[in-house]
Every structure is written in structure tokens, then in C-alpha cells.
Amino acid sequence: MKNIFLSLSTILLLSACSSKLASIPKNALKPTIVTQKTPNDTDDPAIWVNPTNPEGSLIIGTDKQEDTGGLYAYNLKGEIVNKIVPLNRPNNVDVIYGFDYNGKKIDIAITTERKTNKIRIVSLPDFKLIDNGGVEVFVGEAQRDPMGIALYKGNNEEVYVIVGRKEGTTGEYLHQYLLEEKEGKIEAKLVRKFGNYSGKKEIEAIVVDQELGYIYYSDETIGVRKYFADPEKGNEEIAFFGQKDFKRDNEGIAIYKTNATDGYILISDQQANYFNVYKREGEKDNVNEHKIIAKIPTSTIECDGADAINLNFNSTFPKGFLVAMSNGNVFHLYDWQIIQQEIDRQNK
């Protein structure tokens, strides 16, 4: 197993943070890679896979400062290789492949820009803004302030954007948009408002299971809600789980796929510095029943956002990795083999 040691400055930072924030568990897994720091405050990562050269894949991460924030691209060594600055409090980010743009299929990353009430759209891997200044969301709503975001591709290859916000009305907390390019301009057409909300804190972390067609999101301090991603399948909540599994905030969500239908849903237990693990496929008699099967202690401090992938990238990540935000302006990358060993140990 190939690991790196944390620098002295990072160790001191972790020690200082642990007295004010959630302490790192004594048995915490060590990250395989820790990224370079951003200037301000990391929040959420997404993974872009280079289809011809997996080792050239990127981690896309947000630095959520107002006025001087940005979107950063890291290589798999954790080095910053590109950036878009300034952005005005970019919050969460997601990636999708094969968006129709100017007669071509391109890959894109989209981040929410909270202080402008817009989403910002970036072409990949060249890492260029292509949104003509951004696309507004929650237009006409009293409560805007976009935070969470997830992308979904429909049966006809159409691209949808699901956006959450700092506050909202239960039943309409999330808005789903159809993303289209017309004469060089990208537009977002509202197709539905949905999503229950407890009113206790906020909804930030959103993820789409593309193959199974589900949306999961964290209703913080309460639990995890599940809906169909296809707007034609209605707005009924089909699962609400993890309600007693977290110390306080259930935050970042990542899906690790072992095949087209199976795998794991990992959700950060923010104030405990654990990731709670659930079966992606649910139970045999109920695909919408998700029981906790493991609690993974990690070295991330109060993780906001995460992503995971199953792919042989190189000798460092032969089974893919989990990437998780950590306080200290960094992201942690964990070789999936380390995570799997802990899941297996807890399920003997």
C-alpha cells in the first residue's frame, strides 16, 4: 500500500484544528494523497476521468470564498494544475460527460456560485468557462443562494442540473433544470421543483446515481432522502434513511460502484470524522431500504463534500479512490483498497 506522510505544517494544523473542531479518531485511515492547499476554504470535489489516459484524470474542487474564491483542478498527485479565479463563493461542483455544445459532445463541470445566484459551466479538460457570465437559477424565488449541485443524463442524452440552496420550502427545495445550448448560449429550463426539507439546517450535498436513476441528498442533522432522477417518474420521496446514524450533520455523499447495480453509498458524519457506509443496491427485498453496514474513520476534518470512483488509474489507485474535503484548505484522496479493507473487517 502506497501512502505519503503528512508534512509537519499539516500535522500542526490538524492538531490545532482538533481542539476546536471534531477530533480525528485514533484509528483513522491515513490519506494516500493530500492535495496542495487553496488560498481560502475548500468545500466540494468531483472527479473527471480522462477517457484515453486515466492517469491524466482530474479532481475538480471548489474554494468557496466570497469574491476571491475559485474552481481548482488537481492531478492525481494532488498538484494544482489549473484554476478559474475569481469566483464569488463557488460551493459545490459536479461533472458530466457528452454535453451537446456547438455541434460537439464535450465534458463539463458545473459549480454553483452562491453570491451571484448562478451556476458556472466549465469545459473539460481545457478548464475554460463557457457560460457567458453564468446562468441564473431560482429566478423569481424569495430564497435563492444556490449551494448543492448534481448532474444527470436522461434516456435521450439530455443533461439535467439539480440545484439546492441555503434555505427553501419543503416539497420544492430542489429545482431541476434541462441544460441546453442554443446558438452558443447555454440556457437552463426549469422542469420541476421537488424535495422534502425538515427545516432544521440546510441541504447542500446532492449526488446522482446515473445507472440506477436516483438522487440522494443530505437533509442535515435529519437524514438522507432519495428520489427518482427522471422528472417523468414523479416527485414522491422513495427513501429516507440514516436518521439515527450520525453525530450531528450528515454531509458529503459519494457513490462507489462495484458494478452497474451494486456498490456503496458513503456519507460523511461531519462532527465525528467518519464516513457511514450503506449498500447502494439496498436490501434484497427492498432496493430503497439502506441500512448502515460500516463506519469508516478518516483523517479528514469535518468533511463537507466527497466523491468516489472505481477505475484502475495507476499503481497508487488500482481500484479507484475516495476524495474528501478536509478543513485546512485541502482534499484527501484515499486508495479504495484501504476503504474496502475496513468495510470488510467490519462485516466479517
> Can you give the CATH number for the domain in which 23 is found?
2.120.10.30
Report the pLDDT value the prediction gives residue 2, as an integer from 0 to 100. 39
Q: Output the pTM of the full model.
A: 0.93
Domain membership of residue 268 (yes or no) is yes
Q: How far apart are CA 253 and CA 291, in angstroms?
A: 15
* Sheet hosting strand 239-241, strand order edge to edge: 203-209, 214-219, 223-228, 239-241
Domain membership of residue 264 (yes or no) is yes
Domain membership of residue 300 (yes or no) is yes
For residue 19, what is the enclosing H or E element? helix 8-20
- pLDDT tens digits, residue range 23-61? 999 999 999 999 999 999 999 999 999 999 999 999 999
Q: How far apart are CA 92 and CA 42, in angstroms?
A: 10
Domain membership of residue 295 (yes or no) is yes
pLDDT confidence tier of residue 11, bands split at 50, 70 and 90: very low
Burial of 326 (0-12, 13-18, 19+ CB in 10 A): buried
Report the pLDDT value the prediction gives residue 21, as an integer from 0 to 100. 84
Mean pLDDT of 239-249: 97
* pLDDT of 14 higher than 50: no
- pLDDT tens digits, residue range 194-225? 999 999 999 999 999 999 999 999 999 999 99
Q: Which of 280, 301, 302 is nearest to 289 (CA)?
A: 280
* pLDDT of 9 higher than 90: no
Average pLDDT, the chain: 94
What lies within 8 Å, CB to CB, of 293 at 6+ separation is 277, 278, 279, 343, 346, 347
Domain membership of residue 240 (yes or no) is yes
Report the pLDDT value the prediction gives residue 22, as an integer from 0 to 100. 87
| Parent domain of 290 | 8-346
Domain membership of residue 43 (yes or no) is yes
Grid coordinates of 138: 431560482
pLDDT confidence tier of residue 7, bands split at 50, 70 and 90: very low
Report the pLDDT value the prediction gives residue 118, as an integer from 0 to 100. 98
Q: What is the CA radius of gyration of the chain?
A: 19
Q: How far apart are CA 16 and CA 210, in angstroms?
A: 40
- pLDDT tens digits, residue range 70-124? 999 999 999 999 999 999 999 999 999 999 999 999 999 999 999 999 999 999 9
Residue 6: C-alpha distances to residues 47, 63, 109, 233, 327 (Å): 23, 21, 29, 47, 14
Domain membership of residue 3 (yes or no) is no
Report the pLDDT value the prediction gives residue 12, as an integer from 0 to 100. 41
Domain membership of residue 2 (yes or no) is no
Grid coordinates of 143: 430564497
What is the total count of domains within the chain? 1
Report the pLDDT value the prediction gives residue 93, as an integer from 0 to 100. 98
Residue 300 half-sphere exposure toward CB, CA atoms < 13 A: 35
Residue 92: C-alpha distances to residues 104, 150, 197, 241, 304 (Å): 26, 9, 19, 23, 9
